[in-house]
Amino acid sequence: MRLEGTLDAFSLPDILQLLSFTKKTGALHLRRGEAHGVVQLRDGAVTGGRSDVRRQALGRRIVGSGLVDDQALAAAVARVQSEPACGLARALADGGAVPADAARALAAEQAADAVFELLRWPDGEFAFVMDEPDPDDLGASLSVEEVVAEGRRRLDAWAVASVPPASAVLRPVPALAEDPVLTRDEWTLLSVVDGRRTVGEIVDLSGRGPYAVVSGLTRLVARGLLAVGDGAAGLDRRHELLRAAESPSAGHPLVERPAPASRPGVPAPARSAIPEPEPAPRRAEPVRVAAPAPAAPPPVAAPAYARSTVGEVHGAVAMQSAPAPEPEPVPVAAAEGDPGLDRTLLLRLIAGVKGL
């Protein structure tokens, strides 16, 4: 059986209800221009879905959850390249990189997100292919009524919520009024917000659907943990203004001043950044005047030789000269009255001796 038509004649909920009632197994393909989505069913229950078949949506969700390492991811990618019918999520699960319960829960979340995204299409075409296998069947099974009800609830909440557009840039708020309390999902969103990525880029990196990511970001903005705007550019601009206050002051004594321009051909003398201390003034030394040589004593006549009484020598007389008398010091009073002395020189000499 092949079921096909347009979404303006049959809505997506009506098509899913029909497939569920008839317990069909296969893939419901929807196309709108270049966009191509798919919903996988088994026995009338939804097992998976993607709003863009070109991307490994469930594999991205598993990688974004942090459950796999680089080695496991590389092995799964190699298998997908060698087996195009195998999805990345299935390859990760078969390799033991993801626990079965976690893989099944992530597959259910991905299916609900895919149906919500496809419900937002206002028009398009659909075609159901019987027994087409699900490349990422991890055991999830959701009733059509449950998936459609959740999709409609999200549509109503999306219509009234003030959500940032996909091109908006979010940044963390550096100063908070109080200590934040975050869930694990909220912390995962904050870890990819860097003040440069757009909301659309954050959706791709997280691997979760647009509704969960955008709703989580909206709540973080409402709580004052995130703000709309390029935070990195604003911070760079403030630091550029701050550098003006950090420039060296021209009047600081420890700041090197520019050297004066030197004449061509003559190198400027090197000067230290720290000025040298000025030498301390020297204490005035007293004037010392050399003392004049004492006046020569008046000539003394040579002493007469006397006959030695100590002993006699035949043929000659032993002669012994008497010692010359020492000159007597000239009194100051006598020196002052001597007309041959320079009185001015003498007074200067006396003043210099007293100054010592």
Q: What is the pLDDT of residues 98-151, one digit of tens each?
A: 999 999 999 999 999 999 999 999 899 999 999 999 999 999 999 999 999 999
Residue 229 forms part of a structural domain:
yes
Q: Residue 244 domain-assigned?
A: no
Confirm whether 94 is domain-assigned. yes
In a domain, 345, yes or no: no
**Are 198 and 167 spatial neighbours (Cβ–Cβ below 8 Å)?**
yes
Confirm whether 290 is domain-assigned: no
Q: Which helix (H) or strand (E) holds 26?
A: strand 26-32
Where helices occur in the chain by DSSP H, the ranges are 12-21, 57-64, 70-82, 88-94, 100-119, 144-160, 184-190, 199-206, 210-222, 231-242, 332-337, 343-355
Same domain, 19 and 140: yes
| 38 shares its domain with 131 | yes
Percentage of the chain exceeding pLDDT 90: 37
Number of domains observed in the structure of the chain: 2
The whole-number average pLDDT for the span 183-197 is 86
21 shares its domain with 70? yes
303 has pLDDT over 80:
no
* Judgement on whether residues 41 and 95 belong to the same structural domain of the protein: yes
**How would residue 346 be classed by pLDDT, with cut points 50, 70 and 90?**
low
- Identify whether residues 77 and 220 lie together within a single domain: no
In a domain, 289, yes or no: no
pTM passes above 0.75? no
Tokens 């459609």, residue located: 148
Do residues 49 and 146 both lie within one domain?
A: yes
Arithmetic mean of pLDDT, 156-165: 82
Question: Is there a domain that residue 252 lies in?
Answer: no
16 shares a domain with 143: yes
Domain housing 141:
3-160
Residue 257 lies in a domain: no
Stated length of the chain: 356
